[in-house]
Amino acid sequence: MTTASLPAAAAATTPERRRRGARGPVNSSPPVTRRAQTRLGLILVAPVMILTVVFFVFPLANALYYSVVDFDGIDPNPSFVGLANFQEMFLDPEVWHALGNNLIWIVIGTAAPLVIGLLVSVLLWTTRAGTSPYRVIFFLPYVLPGVAIGIVWGWIYDPVSGWLNQALTVVGLGDLARGWLGDPNLALYAVLATAVWASTGFVIVILLSALRNVDIELVDAARIDGANPAQRLWYVILPQIMPVFLMVLTLTLVGGFSVFDIIFIMTGGGPAGATNTIGTYAYSQAFELSRIGYGTTLALLITVLSVPVAVFLNRLQRRLSLDGSGA
């Protein structure tokens, strides 16, 4: 090809290049390679899908089946009752009482650890040295088994030999001593205080890790502009850690829907059902009264209430993360 023909060749190839550019880059991978990549992707996804089917889809389908039959745990051919279990659930006054206790647990059991954890984590964050022992001390209750926590705090609340009543007596407040877990008006809040003590350390450690990514220059600028500590926390620090804050909020909030272990250990839902939640009430119906179908229906209620909240908060967290705000 001569030098004179080069511009013509370039002009001839320009439309072709433009067409290729409009279509995007051409996939030059051979079909064998693409099939190998597809097989590799399926192999990598298969374990997760198997676990999802075994531990979520199958139990959910099984629960839906038991919710429409009258199963006592023994009869291999339980009778079909349709929506009778759901009808009974909505008409059962104990369900509404348990839901009220769940609501109290969700509000206090979510707000208290978040507020206390945020304040303590900010305090430790502003203290640049010597905070490691405090992190261990605050986080230790969270790693303890729930059974151990329930038993120990049951001893603390003991009306005769419990440390709490003895301490009140020593400081001259003996009139306040009482059977904390035996009083229907106080038992739920006594157990709730134990749960807050156990979960606050988790909030502190997670938020303290998120605070490491806060832009300290923005905090200093707000201080120079005259912002007080509360304003710096609300308008400068909290927006930067909001995705992590929402993650902790999701975990504590969903835990309020499904709370069971610490109530079961400390009170068993008593006295006289005063500390019953949906979880403990479902357990008593299914395993103490052998009403597996009705207990499963109550368990499905927990799922129906908690999953939409968790999905909403998770999407909000992802949106904030994609927008680039927060840690």
pLDDT at 4: 45
For residues 215 and 181, give the distance between their C-alpha atoms in angstroms, rounded to a whole number: 46
Does some domain include residue 62? no
pTM of the model: 0.81
pLDDT at 287: 93
Most confident of 95-99, 172-176, 219-223, 313-317: 95-99
Average pLDDT of span 222-235: 91
For residues 238 and 184, give the distance between their C-alpha atoms in angstroms, rounded to a whole number: 38
C-alpha torsion 28→33→39→40, nearest 10: -90
Average pLDDT of span 68-72: 92
Does some domain include residue 128? yes
Does some domain include residue 77? no
Question: How far from chain centre, in Å, is Cα 40?
Answer: 33
**Residue range 164-192, pLDDT digits in tens:** 999 999 999 989 999 999 999 999 999 99
pLDDT at 1: 46
Domain ranges, residue 111? 94-324
Average pLDDT of span 296-301: 94
Does some domain include residue 307? yes
pLDDT at 325: 56
**Residue range 254-291, pLDDT digits in tens:** 889 989 999 999 999 989 899 999 999 999 999 999 99
pLDDT at 324: 60
Burial annotation 204-234 (CB, 10 A radius, 16+ → b, else e): bbbbbebbeebeeeebeebeeeebeeeebbe
Does some domain include residue 6? no
CA distances from 187 to 8, 161, 182, 198 (A): 91, 17, 6, 17
252, 199 contact by CB (below 8 A): yes
Does some domain include residue 37? no
**Residue range 21-66, pLDDT digits in tens:** 445 455 555 666 888 888 888 899 999 999 999 998 999 999 999 9
**Residue range 75-91, pLDDT digits in tens:** 888 999 999 999 999 99
Domain count, the chain: 1
CATH number for the domain harbouring residue 203: 1.10.3720.10
Q: Which residue has the tokens 């009258």?
A: 70
Does some domain include residue 203? yes
240, 326 contact by CB (below 8 A): yes
Phi/psi of residue 69, each to 5°?
-130, 165
pLDDT at 321: 74
pLDDT at 314: 84
**Residue range 181-221, pLDDT digits in tens:** 999 999 999 999 999 999 999 999 999 989 988 999 999 99
